[in-house]
Amino acid sequence: MKRYLILLRNEPLLRRLSLIQLLAYFGAWFSNVAIYTLLIQMGADATTIALVAALHFLPGVFQAPLSGVILDRIHPKRLMILLTLIEIFCTLSLISVDNVGMLWLLYVLVFIRMGAASFHFTVEMSLLPRILEGKDLQAANEIHSIIWSLSYTFGMALSGLVVYWVGVTTAFLLDAGLFVIVLFLAYTIKIEIELSQNGTKMMVMMREAFTYIRANPIVYHLIILHAIIGFTAFDALVALAAKHYYSQIIAVSLGIGLLNAARAVGLVIGPMVLGHWINNRRLGWLLLGEALSIIFWALVIDNFYLSMVASVTVGFVTTTLWSYTYTLLQHHTHSDYYGRVIAYNDMIFLGVGAFVSLLIGYLATLGVSLSMITLILGSVFVFAALYYRWIRQMYELEEIG
């Protein structure tokens, strides 16, 4: 924790970006419980819930080729202001959805809103390697993953209580208010970086990025490795578990909020404990640790209290996996391609998250138990550990720092 505080004290731009991210992520997750609660109140089936979960990831997939070029050509401050305005508009518009007949509007608003949110995230993550490097960059990624986890924890937990006490509409109004604060912070931030001033056309820049990735196989292998962390996209699984297993002992909104909050506790603690320990040699063991923790959750998913414990263990490993694989990719990418490579990386990562969400809904509709679905997701990380071992044998990975 001390190294994070020192870095934030010495880097004022990182400090402001972190505050913006804290509030923006909090706002994003604060609305999620309200959205899933609204769906369950309207009698939505497993397929609909899974589709909405997938819509949280799909926008980043479709916009990545264009957003990568934009990131390398347009100043990040202008992008952050525009994207925050979009999030405010979409969040307020969600209030008008009150019956199944308006599901189409919910789909559209979630798609646009999460597109802006994922683009906002990519803006910040492509900015970090321009202002930091080495261990400072790794620590900054860990800070941002901790912020994501804190926002996830309090956003889910407090939203569950707010929705339970005062309803979905109030949750959306409060959420829009948070984004107004984010807008003010983005408007007043000072970001002094130089972007490329060449007049290369966007399509040419896209082709250049694909050519660069093809010519550097270690880059696309690290993109795939990072994308595997997308198999921890459990939103649909948590909502279905709350609906089918826990609704007899706790309100659905509280069940969703508390289970996600428990996982986020692990997400926050994990990098504080594992941040100093993790390196290239130990990453494979951490992938196996994720597999075991998810398999444990699969065995106890029908028990609310044991699921809370299992969720903490799952989250404990996830954050460090996410931040370290992200840092490896940044570390092995040339600075001229930061924006495009990070955008394409997020495209693959979010595509995996969308696929997993849809897979959960599809398997649940076929009658596959939630325990078996969770077991399948956990087994993926066993293959990920073997894949990473192959990467280390085939390529020379540079240590961070």
Helices (H), 366-398: 370-394
Three-class secondary structure of residue 112 per DSSP: helix
Exposed (0-12), middle (13-18) or buried (19+): which is 80, by Cβ within 10 Å? Answer: buried
Q: What is the pLDDT of residue 235?
A: 76
Residue entry with tokens 């984004």: 179
Whether the pLDDT of residue 401 is over 70: the answer is no
**Using CA atoms, how far apart are residues 140 and 125, in angstroms rounded to an integer?**
10
pLDDT confidence tier of residue 153, bands split at 50, 70 and 90:
low
Helices (H), 42-75: 46-55, 58-71
Q: Select from 150, 117, 116, 125 the least CA-distant residue to 26.
A: 150
Q: Average pLDDT, whole number, for the chain?
A: 83
Whether the pLDDT of residue 381 is over 90: the answer is yes
Whether the pLDDT of residue 364 is over 80: the answer is yes
CA end-to-end span of the chain, whole Å? 18
pTM: 0.73
**Using CA atoms, how far apart are residues 367 and 1, in angstroms rounded to an integer?**
45
Whether the pLDDT of residue 321 is over 70: the answer is yes
